Amino acid sequence: MEQFDRLIQIIARLRSEDGCPWDRQQTHHSLKQCFVEEVYEVLEAIDTGEPEGICEELGDVLLQVVLHAQIAAEDEQFDIEDVLRRINEKLTYRHPHVFGDVSVSDAEEVLCRWEQLKRAETGATDRQSVLDGIPKTLPALQRAKRLQERASRVGFDWEDISGPWAKLFEEIQELQQAADAQDRSSIVHELGDLLIAVVNVARRLGVSAEEALRAANNRFAARFRVVEEQAAKQGRELAQMTLAEMDELWEQAKAAEADAP
């Protein structure tokens, strides 16, 4: 594609001797945080639902991919053609129900076969656990969900949601007991178990705990800004208001949010 080829040429120019000093000094490691931030900006654009924003942020992610490939090409490791070839081969191999003669009944069977095919691939045969390959750098809630999904595929799961519900209430009690005992180590331990239980309930309800928490964070931030604005209209500082007074403004912000179209 013309525009993709142009992007490759632009990145190569930026990395050349007469290119950009900043781009020239970048490495795979120095770009790690940039890559993560660009992905999160895509997620934020998706949450806003603005196509133009999504389009722009996807371009920034693509820039990172091409830049990493260019760095590798300069070290004679691989180039963007190798990246494209590998992903094309991987997609066709892992979708024999589309590109081959395999039949599947539903999406769950697709996921099971996907994991089987991954384990059979070169480079994956040395994995000792069904949990191997899940990045430790994933956000904790997302990684918890992925771990639980993998374990579930080999039968390590409750038959229905009553098990996760019971475990959730059990973990709440254990956290309260640890808090009552003022045992910090146990509090941290039990809080982690509680979060795992929350993720498990969310998974069984078909909800992403990570997405739910992100949305809740956004709601909190939006409502708190309204509280600040309303306090400012009254000529008051939040630090000078009582909790009850701030809570009244908070409830007004919630009500306004509910009435919004």
The Cα-based distances of 120 to 87, 102, 135, 136, 142 in angstroms read: 16, 16, 19, 22, 25
Of 162, 216, 170, 222, residue with least CA distance to 193: 170
Q: What is the pLDDT of residue 74?
A: 97
Question: What's the CATH number for 140-207?
Answer: 1.10.287.1080
* Mean pLDDT score, 246-261: 85
Q: Decide if pLDDT at 82 tops 70.
A: yes
Q: Decide if pLDDT at 113 tops 80.
A: no
| 134 alpha carbon, distance to own chain's centre | 12
Q: What is the pLDDT of residue 110?
A: 82
Same CATH topology for 2-81 and 140-207: the answer is yes
20 — pLDDT class (breaks 50, 70, 90): very high
Q: What is the pLDDT of residue 125?
A: 56
**Domain assignments of the chain as residue spans, ordered by start:** 2-81, 140-207, 211-259
* Mean pLDDT score, 31-48: 92
112 — pLDDT class (breaks 50, 70, 90): confident
Q: Decide if pLDDT at 118 tops 80.
A: no
Mean pLDDT for all residues in the chain:
92
In angstroms, rounded to a whole number, what is the distance separating the alpha carbons of residues 204 and 112? 17
pLDDT digits (tens, 9 = 90+) for 234-247: 999 999 999 999 99
Higher pLDDT, 203 or 110: 203
Q: What is the pLDDT of residue 154?
A: 86
pTM: 0.71
Largest CA distance in the chain: 71
Count how many Cα atoms sit within 13 Å of the Cα of residue 158 in the half-sphere of its side chain: 14
Inter-residue contact 14 to 23 (CB < 8 Å): yes
Q: What is the pLDDT of residue 126?
A: 63
What is the CATH architecture assignment of 2-81? Orthogonal Bundle (1.10)
Inter-residue contact 178 to 193 (CB < 8 Å): no
Q: Decide if pLDDT at 219 tops 70.
A: yes
Q: Decide if pLDDT at 124 tops 60.
A: no
123 — pLDDT class (breaks 50, 70, 90): low
